[in-house]
Amino acid sequence: MTLLEIPILTFVIFFPLAGAIVLLALPASRARAIKVTANVVTGLEFLAVLAILKGFNAGSGELQLLERREWIRSFGAQYLLGVDGISLLLLLLTTLLTFVAVLSSWSAVEKRLKEYYFFLLLLEVGMVGVFLALDLVLFYVFWEVMLVPMYFLIGIWGGERRLYAAIKFFLYTLFGSVMMLVGILVLHAHYQTFDLTVMLQAGSPLAGALQGWVFLAFFLGFAIKVPMFPFHTWLPDAHVEAPTAGSVILAGVLLKMGTYGFVRFSLPLFPDATRRFLPWIVALSLVAIVYGALVSLMQKDMKRLIAYSSVSHMGFVTLGLFALTPMAVEGAVLQMINHGLSTGALFLIVGVLYERRHTRAISEFGGLAAQMPAYAAVFLIMALASIGLPGLNGFVGEFMILMGTFPVNWVWTAVAATGIILGAGYMLWLYQRVMFGRLDNPANQVLADLSPREWATFLPLLVLVFWIGLAPKPFLRLIEKPVEKVVRLANPDYFRTVESPAPALPVRAVSAGDEAR
Amino acid sequence: METAVFSDVRSLAPALALVAAAVVSLLLHVFLRRRGPRVAGWTALSGVALALFLLAVGPTAPGALFAGVLRLDPFAVFIQLSVLLATALALLLAFRFFGAEKHEPGEVYPLFLLAAVGMMMAVAAADLVALYVSFELFAVSSYILAGIFKKDRRSSEAGIKYFFLGTLSSGCMLLGMALVFGLSGETSYAGAARALAGADEHIALAAMVLFFAGLFFKAAFIPFHMWAPDIYEGAPTPVAVFLSTASKAAVIGILIRSMTSLFGGFSSHWLAIFQALALATMFWGNIAALLQDNIKRLMAYSSIAHAGYLAIGLAAWSEAARTAILFYLFLYIFMNAAAFAIVLLARSEPGFKENVSDLRGLVRTSPLAAASVLVVLLSLTGIPPTAGFMGKYLLLAAAVEKKLYLLAAAGALNSVISLFYYFRVGRAIFMEEADDASAARPAPWSVQTVMVVAALVLLLFGLWPSALAELAGVSTLGN
């Protein structure tokens, strides 16, 4: 499948790069032309990703539209791209959120415009590349390419402590990725290839202890990105200091790269180690769910509150992934999308207020519902989506994760469910403090409601929140088969025992399997 | 017989071109009074260009010259190429640097060339006497270069310090050579290696350790590095570039040749030596760099840390590792020359202390140079899509293949440590605002050229490393 004679996956990676180069050629004084170019490029990019759907077979769990070209002969690294339902859904999310983020910056960013949009487009190249690359060296290159623009977005256009937050983000994530690099090298020494599709077919995973170490090396890379407790401490700083568009992309897309890495690499490549470390990872996820929610309750800054709520929500995703049942993993993948939509929207919502008042302190606001009714409605819908109200997207994902984990271990489900209750607590309390009460701060009495451009940023997100909430079928259909494939590789016992009346606990099944070996 | 010697001499054309250029440049400097230094500089640069050309078109594998005293194999040619490129970059920076001085010391240009001739001969030497003579040629020229500003206290101090410590290291090496000669009665590598195999192992090991120690000293491996930060800081910046790139390439070249053809029988001892050296050099170099405010000292420690990455390859010592070392060495020249060139972009005048904060606002005053610095910094840290990543990747992959997992992890971890100080420089350039009075100066053309060339090379080999990796692959010395 091609677009303008270029294979479509290559096109969607490099189109934003072409846009970035065009931006460089524009004179810095022509602010309007720069903004229009960036918006058009990211808009077209989303449409191009939509076009992938046309040649895509949703009924198959295989990686499709493969593009394979020689790249570095002497290392054996290839330029290998491909897409399955999971990555396609994430691509749609990425390109939509990037477009929304660019649109939301129209009046929010005033200094060094050209560089700002240049870095946003470069960031998109990295993100799209990560979701498409199937060669581990290529994957690593895109994975790291992403760090640099994000570092600059936080460091140049961020809040007061931006320099600190930017380098903290860079150091943390680079630490995770270089450990992953060592893991990639060990994998190469074992399989003699960087080609993921070949590795998956080889069916001869690394030997016991070494597999554990390589799993941990990848785990560090991904867990820091997610971020899982206790690797989350970079996140509140980065989210709070980043400009609104940066926060939207950080929360909406960058965090998903960690969980995407788990699904794409960790679970299928290291099945034994996955099951061995599973109790620990689940424990960390449960801690993240409850701890993230409790910390959110205490925040005085809106952005910080939403940042910590991400820790809690991503805990749900990792819990679902490592429950290793098809239902839970499907829920987790869907929840990745849901979290991107609702949290991305919540950061936009905070951004709307920040642009008007230049503060994010919750205590500065109150009674805004009377002054900004449309804003209040959007905020309410997004807050409820984030809580997981039935009929909205969050509910579907969380419910599937809980359903999927219950047969494995009901205690996990019970702990995770308390996280939902706490989630309702901090979100509704936030809403109450900002929106209800008396509108007695004079600065708030002159606030304008949503502008048409702001409406345009929220509209696609609102549509999807309802669509996934009411009719998730088309989305689930995309991820069903690929998820099944992952679970078959990571937890083959599940399909062996699924017919028997009482499904065995996978954890126990693993230890039995280990003894047999 | 006569014709054989003649053709041997012809094979040395690149080095002879440098000698000729050095003589001409020295004479021009003396006789053309006012414009002398400038003309001398251009003559020297043309000499390097001519030598590069002769090296590129020269016979590809002539092997042994002058009855085996020199070996001009692909390995030697690769290192010579690196040395010449490093010399060219250092000369370009010297134009800017010495041109800004009132009394441009025109004799620096021939000295650069003579040192380069010494290096080129030393990496080709397959005989102890030839090695020592060429080694001293480049050592003595570099002592003078380091102290070239006679009136500047820091430069004079650097010259004296380098001289004393340098001769000490040459002495170590000479003692090692003496032991080799005493044991074998041979001066040729091949003959000595045969005799060493049957000699008393303790004395042979002592000879190897002394010989290596002299080289480690010149390569500034930790704990043999004490001289390096002071001398890189005190010496004029182009000289620091030259010493940390060309000289290091030559020393690593000599080391590899002696490891393969002189002390090849003792390879079982190398893993322990080089593993310790790599770990100490990487960690110490990077951690010390974290503490520096002066850019020149920061880059001095950074260049030490990079020698540590090279030592990973020496520890792994496989075919892949030797390829990786050559690959990295080539890039290291561009990365390091550009890193020291950053010093020349700082606000303060030459001779003052240049701090990291003196680079503020560079992105406004010269955006092209700033963008190039960004590529260089990414490459130094080892972040794709730059060549620094590919180089580090090859070194780590060689270590992993030899199951040196912890060494590879330590190398990777050091990337993260180095990120912190490299991006203090990046932060000053891109993020910290500066008013016009305190912003960095617009980059002069020569510095800008070095920066842009380095950035392009690093990006090119970062995206398409195959060509360089294959060239390095065919240039390795067999075991």
> A78 by DSSP, 3-state: which?
strand
Whether residue A506 is predicted with pLDDT greater than 80 in this model: the reply is: no
Convert the pLDDT of each residue in B19-29 to its tens digit.
999 999 888 88
Q: What radius of gyration do chain A's Cα atoms show? A: 22
Specify whether B247 is located in the same domain as B272. Answer: no
Chain A nearest-CA residue for B421: A167
Give residue A63's pLDDT.
87
Contacts of A134 (CB under 8 A, 6+ apart): A63, A66, A80, A81, A82, A195, A196, A197
Across the range A129-133, mean pLDDT stands at: 94
Specify whether B28 is located in the same domain as B72. Answer: yes
Give residue B458's pLDDT.
94
Partner-chain contact A178 B465, CB within 8 Å = no
Pairing relationship of beta strands A77-83 and B63-65 according to DSSP bridges: unpaired
Partner-chain contact B470 A74, CB within 8 Å = yes
Give residue A493's pLDDT.
82
C-alpha to C-alpha distances, A219 to A179, A378, B453, nearest whole angstrom? 9, 37, 38
C-alpha to C-alpha distances, B267 to B129, B262, B309, B364, nearest whole angstrom? 23, 11, 20, 53
Q: Which of B394, B405, B413 is facing A178, going by the closest CB pair? A: B413
Residues of B with CB under 8 A from a CB of A: 378, 381-385, 389-390, 393-394, 396-397, 400-401, 405, 408-409, 412-413, 415-416, 419-420, 423, 427, 430-432, 464-466, 469-470, 473
Q: What radius of gyration do chain B's Cα atoms show? A: 21
Contacts of A30 (CB under 8 A, 6+ apart): none
Give residue A4's pLDDT.
74
Convert the pLDDT of each residue in B105-117 to its tens digit.
778 889 999 999 9
> B304 by DSSP, 3-state: which?
helix
Boundary (domain end) residue, out of B221, B236, B262: B262
The kind and range of the H/E element at B247 are: helix B237-257
Q: Across all residues in chain B, what is the average pLDDT?
A: 87
Cα separation of A319 and A287, whole Å? 10
Specify whether B155 is located in the same domain as B29. Answer: yes
Partner-chain contact B389 A189, CB within 8 Å = no
Tokens representing B113 are 């060339």
Give residue B46's identity as a one-letter amino acid code.
S
Confidence of residue B438 (pLDDT cuts 50, 70, 90): low
Cβ-count burial of A125 within 10 angstroms (0-12 exposed, 13-18 middle, 19+ buried)? buried
Confidence of residue B220 (pLDDT cuts 50, 70, 90): confident
Q: Are the CB atoms for A63 and A134 separated by under 8 Å?
A: yes
> B29 by DSSP, 3-state: which?
helix
The kind and range of the H/E element at B440 are: none
Give residue B129's pLDDT.
92
C-alpha to C-alpha distances, B259 to B180, B250, B254, B443, nearest whole angstrom? 14, 14, 8, 43
Boundary (domain end) residue, out of B234, B262, B290: B262
Convert the pLDDT of each residue in B27-62 to its tens digit.
888 888 777 778 888 889 999 999 999 888 876 556
Side-chain half-sphere CA neighbours of B165 within 13 A: 22
DSSP letter at A359 equals -
Partner-chain contact B469 A74, CB within 8 Å = yes
Specify whether B299 is located in the same domain as B355. Answer: yes
Q: Are the CB atoms for A12 and A2 separated by under 8 Å?
A: no
Side-chain half-sphere CA neighbours of B187 within 13 A: 13
Specify whether B211 is located in the same domain as B307. Answer: no
The pLDDT > 70 percentage for chain A reads 96
> B345 by DSSP, 3-state: which?
coil
Cα separation of A182 and B404, whole Å? 11
Count of structural domains, chain B: 2
Whether residue A307 is predicted with pLDDT greater than 70 in this model: the reply is: yes
Partner-chain contact A144 B389, CB within 8 Å = yes
Cα separation of B308 and B323, whole Å? 16
Specify whether B230 is located in the same domain as B288. Answer: no
Specify whether B326 is located in the same domain as B444. Answer: yes
E strands, B227-374, are: none
Model pTM score: 0.91
Q: Considering only CA atoms, which of A337, A329, A258 is closest in space to residue A88?
A: A337
Count of all residues that appear for chain A in the document:
517
C-alpha to C-alpha distances, A424 to A4, A285, A389, nearest whole angstrom? 48, 19, 9
Residues of A with CB under 8 A from a CB of B: 72-75, 137, 140-141, 144-145, 147-148, 151-152, 155-156, 162-163, 166-167, 170-171, 174-175, 178-179, 181-182, 185-186, 188-189, 213
Crossing angle of helices A373-387 and A326-357, in 10° steps, is: 150
Confidence of residue A111 (pLDDT cuts 50, 70, 90): confident
Chain B nearest-CA residue for A175: B416
DSSP letter at A19 equals H
Q: Which residues of A touch B408 (CB under 8 A)?
A: 182, 185
Partner-chain contact B384 A140, CB within 8 Å = yes
Across the range A384-388, mean pLDDT stands at: 91
Specify whether B26 is located in the same domain as B171. Answer: yes
Convert the pLDDT of each residue in A462-472 to its tens digit.
999 999 999 99
Confidence of residue A516 (pLDDT cuts 50, 70, 90): very low
CA A302 vs. chain centroid, Å, equals 20
Cα separation of B467 and B469, whole Å? 6
To 5 degrees, how large is the angle CA A323–CA A328–CA A329? 85
The total of other beta-carbon atoms located within 10 Å of residue A302's CB is: 25
CA of A166 vs chain B CAs: smallest distance (Å): 10
Cα separation of B302 and A190, whole Å? 33
Cα separation of A299 and A309, whole Å? 10
Q: Which residues pair with B65 in a beta bridge?
A: B70
Q: Are the CB atoms for B159 and B175 separated by under 8 Å?
A: no
Specify whether B204 is located in the same domain as B328. Answer: no
Q: Are the CB atoms for B123 and B81 separated by under 8 Å?
A: no
Specify whether B168 is located in the same domain as B308. Answer: no
Q: Which of B385, B412, B423 is facing A145, going by the closest CB pair? A: B385
Partner-chain contact A186 B405, CB within 8 Å = yes
Across the range A475-480, mean pLDDT stands at: 90
Cα separation of B355 and B297, whole Å? 9
Alpha helices in B100-235 (DSSP H): 108-124, 128-146, 153-184, 189-197, 201-219, 227-234
Residue whose entry in the numeric block shows the structure tokens 């490549």:
A269
Q: Which residue range(s) make up the domain with B199?
A: 1-262
Boundary (domain end) residue, out of B262, B290, B309: B262
Confidence of residue A43 (pLDDT cuts 50, 70, 90): very high
E strands, B217-376, are: none
Q: Are the CB atoms for A437 and A365 separated by under 8 Å?
A: no
Give residue B479's pLDDT.
47
Chain A nearest-CA residue for B403: A186
Look at the alpha carbons of A17, A19, A22, A28 in this order and tell me if their dihedral is positive or negative: negative
CA of A74 vs chain B CAs: smallest distance (Å): 6
The kind and range of the H/E element at B460 are: helix B445-463
Confidence of residue A509 (pLDDT cuts 50, 70, 90): very low
Across the range A300-325, mean pLDDT stands at: 92
Tokens representing A493 are 């016992």
Q: What is the DSSP string of B373-421?
A: HHHHHHHHHT-TTSHHHHHHHHHHHHHHHTT-HHHHHHHHHHHHHHHHH
Give residue A466's pLDDT.
93
Specify whether B258 is located in the same domain as B272. Answer: no
Convert the pLDDT of each residue in B292-342 to its tens digit.
888 888 988 999 999 999 999 999 998 889 999 999 999 999 999 998 888
Across the range A350-363, mean pLDDT stands at: 88
Convert the pLDDT of each residue in B138-154 to its tens digit.
999 999 988 888 777 88
Q: Are the CB atoms for B207 and B179 separated by under 8 Å?
A: yes
| Structure-model confidence comparison of residues A387 and B38, the more confident one | A387
Specify whether B378 is located in the same domain as B417. Answer: yes
| Structure-model confidence comparison of residues B291 and A445, the more confident one | B291
CA B226 vs. chain centroid, Å, equals 17
Q: Which residues of B touch A137 (CB under 8 A)?
A: 393
Give residue A498's identity as a one-letter amino acid code.
V
